Structure 1
C-alpha cells in the first residue's frame, strides 16, 4: 500500500475523500502494525489531527472499505471514541504517547488527510476455456493507477476464432484504455483491432461495435491506466467458435442448409448466409427441416442484407417447423449458432422469388 499525506492541504472529511478519489485512491486506514508505522512516520509533528478512512456506521466504527478488525480497538486515543464528538475518524501522532491514536471528530472540520493507493499489480492472465469472462483489476471496486494488464484468450485450434463483448464499462474517458489485438501481442503477426477509450456499448459515441472478433484463434487484451483518477472498471465476456466461411446465394431459387446437413452439424459454430434475388422481387423462404438443440442452438432470420436488418424470427428446437416468410426487399440473411455440446440434424430452407 502507498500513502500520500496532504500536509498544508486541508479539507472536511467528505472533500478529503473526494480529493483522494481524484488522485486514484481513498482515505487511508491502518490495518496492522506495519501500516500504522507508515502513517505515523508521515504525520509526526503535525499540529492537526489527520483525516483517515475511518467512519461510524450506526454503532460500528469501520474503515472506508467497511472493514474493521481487533487491531483498530488498540489504536484509539485515550478516552476515545467519544460518541459526542462526531462520526468521522482522524489520527494523531505527537510527542505525548498518551495523546496518540484515533479520535472521533465532526466530519465538517477542515483537517489534513491521508490517502492510500494500492500498488499497481496486474499479473498476466491466460484464458483457454470455450467461454468465460475477464475484468479490470479489483473489479467491481476501483482499479489502480499506472496499471498495465495483459489478458490472452486462446481457442484450442486454428479452426476457431474469438469473440469478445463488454458487459460493463466505467473507465476514465480518453486516459485509461483497452487495446485489443487479433493474435498474440507483442508477436510480429498481431494486428490491432481497437483502441478503446470510451464506452464501446454506446454505438452513438463509440467508433466500434461491441463485438470484437478475431480472424486467428488468439486475442490479446491490454488494459492500461494513467497516473491519476480511477473508476470501477470494466467486465467483458468471450466465447470461441468454430470457423465457417459465409454462404452466398444469388438468383431466383435455391436451398440453404446447416453445416454437414443432412448429418449432424458441428458444435461451436457461428455461420452467416446471405441470399440475394433480382431487383424488383421479394423472396419467399420455406423450411422443410428444422431440428436443433432447444434454446442452445438457434437460427435467426433477418429481413435484409446483414445482421443489422430487422429480425423476421429467432428459431430453436425440433417439434414444429418455423413459419414461411416473405421479405420486404430482395435479400435476407441467416445467422446460425451452436453451443459446445449436443448436435442435431439442423435445418434446410428452400427459397424462391416472389412477385411484389
Structure 2
C-alpha cells in the first residue's frame, strides 16, 4: 500500500507502510514549490553580486569597465552571411537571326538553360526585368540564393552580351573570309555574311572556294562541327560546306524580293587549330533553269477545269499537300507552294512532315537522283519516304519563298501532307 495526503501545513507528507518488519517511518521532504523558490533566490543573489563586481569606481569618479567575468559561458561565434559575388556572365550574341521582330529569349513555363531550349534550339534565358531573373543549375527561373548565388547559376541582370559577328558585302564580286583569316578562327560563335543584291536584275550568287580549312569534313553525310551554310535552304545541313577543299563551285538563288543573300559560318566550342576559309563570290544575272530559278513552271491539275497547281499561302499556320492526297498524285506535275511573308517580324517557316512518300531516289554513278521531288530552288531535292522537321529562313527583306513539287511520267505515290507555321524566332 502507498498513500499520499495533504495536510494544513504547506508541505507534502508521505506515509509509507513497510511490507517487511513492524517499524514505521515518516519521511519529510521539501515541497517542489519550496525548491523552486530557493533556486530563484540563489539566482537573484548571484546576479546582485555580479552587478556589484561589474562596475568599479575610480578615485576620480570615472566608471571603469567590468573586470574579468566570474563565470565563462560558451556561445558559438555568429558569422554574417555574405553572398559570393560571381563575375558577369558573357553571352555571345546571335547576330545571324533573321527577321526584325522582338527577340524573346525566355520560355513561358519558367524553365531555362541548355536543357530547355527555345524553339530555335538555343538555350533559353530568364526575363531580367521580371521577379524571377536568375536561372538555377537545375534549369528553373527564380530569385532565391539557390537561383542567383550558386556557381552554375546565371543572373541575367548581370549579363554582358558579346558584340555580334556580322559582315555586309557589296559589289558584284568580292570575298568572304573567316575571322582572323589566314590565322586560326575563334571558337563558339556564328558569323553572318550578307551579300547585297544591287537590283532585281541579279538572280543569284556563285561561290568559288579558294581556300577551305574548316572542321573535319563530312561525318555521317554532313558537317557536324564547324561549317559554312545557307540558312534559307532546306534541308539546311545539305548546304553545309566544311573540310579541307579548294576549287568547288556553288550557285544559290535570291528569294523573291530579297535585298541580300545571307551565309552563316558556324564555329563550334572546340578549337581544332583550323585556319578557316576564303571564298570568292560573284553575283549572277543569268541562273540555270528550269528548276534552279524562281520562275518555276506551273502545270494544270488533271481532272480540273484548267486549275493551275499553284498555292498562295498567307495563313500563319496550316497544312499543304500534293493534289488528291491521300490518293496518288498525277503524273507530269509541276506545282508551286508560295509562302507570303506577312511582315519583316516573320523570319521563317517551320515545316514538319505528317506523311511523305514519293518515288525513291534513282542511284546513278553520280549519286542519288530524284525523279519525283520536293525542293526549294538551288537547295537540293527531297524524295522517297522520309520524315523531317525544319525551319527555312527568309532572306533579308524577302517577300516570299517558293517550294516546288515535281512528278514524272512514272507511277505516282501518295505524296505528302506537311504542317507549317510562320515563326518570328529562327
* Length-normalised TM-score, structure 1: 0.29
Return the structure number with greater strand share. 1
Bigger-Rg structure (1/2): 2
TM-score, with length taken from structure 2: 0.25
